[in-house]
Structure 1
Amino acid sequence: MPVPAPVLYPPFNIVRLSHVEFGVTDLAASRAFYVDTLGLQVTYEDDESLYMRAMEERGHHCIALRKADKPEARVLGFKLYDTPDLDKAAAFFAAKGLPVEWVERPFMGRTLRTCDNFGIPLEFYVQMDRLPPIHQQYKLYNGVKALRIDHFNMFTSDVDASVAFYNEIGFRTTEYTEDEDSQKLWAAWMHRKGGVHDVAFTNGLGPRLHHTAFWVPTPLNIIELLDLMATTGYVANIERGPGRHGISNAFFLYILDPDGHRIEIYCSDYQTVDPDLEPIKWDLKDPQRQTLWGAPAPRSWFEHGSLFAGVDPVASAMTAQPIIAP
């Protein structure tokens, strides 16, 4: 199936991805990981929750952790352009037969809760509490010095169907991997904010959250994080990298939080703001697709993911596989 033509005037206007909420089993252990090791800034905490932002963000939070009996990804959040977009979004999802609910969310204005065509829980808002800028308070820069949340990557049992759905609401494909035998998509990267992606889709048991990525200033920050993790008890949490992707050209590191939620530390991709930018096609068996230097990803990278709360994943019918490290 070819990549669909971009919808330049979608039914409602998404600005960017905004935030993720995780259920975590040990809030203190998660705080040590996200705050003391990664360096995210606490904006609110109590006995049941922890809210954080990265250094360039003015919104109240880009990640929320809530104490839970089991690890889970609870919702992916997106910011809309203006207040009328909320009602336009509600009408769109209702017309698709998908659930529409107006929910009360801490530190956020009017919020629409719904899901995509495979049940991934989504929420949309226009207003979030605004905080003073801290990007020039260099005494606060700790850990990997994360600047902002960058993207979500999701496992899906049908990449073509996921791409078609998100294309309809205005996400534009920048790069994609096609299985030459079936002529179906194995993975795709789609954006709203002008980077390589706000969302990406990977073939597999889905829907599940593959990873959440944070942008850092330079590759050196990633090297420094590795040294920090190696000397503070987090060696086993280092899963893949450092390296440079062929797809996106980004320098990367994949790590796991104490509950197994995968986090990517990410920098150095490229600008994609032109509406007529042609997507880049990759072959599934190209060794430089995963890593420009040719190193394949470990098996865990293709199999492990966070379950979405209340959503039962299903297996993909596609049997094609990329190169996997022995």
Structure 2
Amino acid sequence: MPIPEPTLYPPFNIVRLSHVEFGVTDLAASKAFYVETLGLQVTEETEDHLCLRALEERGHHCLVLRRATEARAQYLAYKVYSDEDLDRAHDWFAAEGHPVKWVERSHQGRTLRTTDCFGAPMEFYYRMERLPPIHQQYRLYHGVKPLRIDHFNCFAPDVDAAVAFYGRLGFRVTEYTEDDASGRLWAAWMHRKGGVHDVAFTSGTGPRLHHTAFWVPTPLNIIDLLDLMSTTGYLANIERGPGRHGISNAFFLYVRDPDGHRIEIYCSDYQTVDPDLEPIRWDLKDPQRQTLWGAPAPLSWFEEGSLFADVDPQEAVLKATPIVAP
């Protein structure tokens, strides 16, 4: 099935992905994982939540951890170009039949909450509190030295529908996996900020959040993290990698937090700024699409993901068999 032409002048202007909020069942355990082990920086801490940012980020937070009885992904958030874009987004989603409401979020200006084509919660904002730069405070660099949030990856029951919907919002496809037998998409990578992706979609029961990724300086940082996790009680939290993806060409590692939320540590993808850049097609049967080199992904990587709060997932329409580690 051909990839639809991108909408280069969308109804409102999304700059990039911004942040995610996780419900976590043990805030202290989550802090130990994200702050003491991965190396994210605390920007606010209360009895009920933590706000964190990575080392190159000026916005107040890229990750919010909130105490909850169940581990859920609460929403995925995006920054828009102007305050007027928030009103345009509100009117567009309302006209399309999506629920819309203005919500209060600490350290942010007006924030719009709505849903995507599968009912997954999305939030949009323009203003977030700016913090002083810390990227040259090298005493703060520890763990895997996370520089910035890079992307979300979601299970989608219909990847073709996801590409069509997010394409209307101005997201452009950089790479995709197609099933030859059906002509349907198995997965697609879509961006706004000029990397390989701000958000990707993989065929599976969804909507569910597959992972959130953080960009790090070099592959050596990933090796350091593996040494650290393997000697500080987190060996079982290492799920997949290290290795290099065929799609995106990125060096990667996948780990699970204490609640099972999946985090990718990621570096070395490529620039995709040109609006007429042609998407790269991969065959579903090509083993190098998911792993250029390294061990194949375990079954958990294809089947497990974070549920969105108050959203019932649907089975995938594409029934295809991925390459799974023995």
What TM-score does the superposition give when structure 2 sets the normalisation length?
0.99
After TM superposition, the structure 1 = structure 2 runs for residues 8-157 of structure 1, keeping only pairs within 5 Å, are 8-157=8-157
Whether the 8 Å CA contact 2:244–2:294 is kept in 1: the answer is no
Whether the 8 Å CA contact 2:179–2:185 is kept in 1: the answer is yes
Cα distance, 1:293 vs. partner? 1.5
Which amino acid in the other structure matches residue 199 of structure 1? V
* Residue 278 (structure 1) aligns with: 278
* Residue 236 (structure 2) aligns with: 236
Which amino acid in the other structure matches residue 293 of structure 2? W
CA RMSD of aligned residues (A): 0.6
Q: 1:242-286: per-residue Cα shift (whole Å, max 9, x none)?
A: 000000000000000000000000000000000000000000010
* Structure 1, gaps ≥5 residues long: none
Cα distance, 1:324 vs. partner? 1.0
Which amino acid in the other structure matches residue 128 of structure 1? M
Which amino acid in the other structure matches residue 59 of structure 1? G
Segments of 4+ moved more than 4 angstroms: none
* Residue 172 (structure 2) aligns with: 172
Q: Distance in 2 between matches of 1:296 and 1:286?
A: 12
* Structure 2, gaps ≥5 residues long: none
- In structure 2, do the counterparts of structure 1 residues 289 and 88 end up closer, same or farther at CA, with 3 Å as the change threshold? same
Cα distance, 1:321 vs. partner? 1.6
* Residue 302 (structure 2) aligns with: 302
Whether the 8 Å CA contact 2:241–2:294 is kept in 1: the answer is no
> How many aligned residue pairs are there?
326
Cα distance, 1:143 vs. partner? 0.3
Q: Distance in 1 between matches of 2:25 and 2:254?
A: 21
Q: Distance in 2 between matches of 1:46 and 1:130?
A: 20
Cα distance, 1:294 vs. partner? 5.9
Q: Which stretch has the larger CA shift, 294-303 or 202-211?
A: 294-303
Whether the 8 Å CA contact 2:146–2:215 is kept in 1: the answer is yes
What TM-score does the superposition give when structure 1 sets the normalisation length?
0.99
* Residue 188 (structure 2) aligns with: 188
Q: Distance in 1 between matches of 2:9 and 2:39?
A: 38
Cα distance, 1:295 vs. partner? 3.2
Whether the 8 Å CA contact 2:242–2:294 is kept in 1: the answer is no
Q: 1:57-81: per-residue Cα shift (whole Å, max 9, x none)?
A: 0000000000000100001000000
Whether the 8 Å CA contact 1:108–1:128 is kept in 2: the answer is yes
SS in 2 for 1:274: coil
Which amino acid in the other structure matches residue 311 of structure 2? V
Matched-pair identity in %: 76
Q: 1:75-108: per-residue Cα shift (whole Å, max 9, x none)?
A: 1000000111000000110011000100110110
SS in 2 for 1:288: coil
* Residue 289 (structure 1) aligns with: 289
Cα distance, 1:325 vs. partner? 1.1
* Residue 256 (structure 1) aligns with: 256
Q: 1:189-230: per-residue Cα shift (whole Å, max 9, x none)?
A: 000000000000000000000000000000000000000000
Q: Which stretch has the larger CA shift, 291-300 or 232-241?
A: 291-300
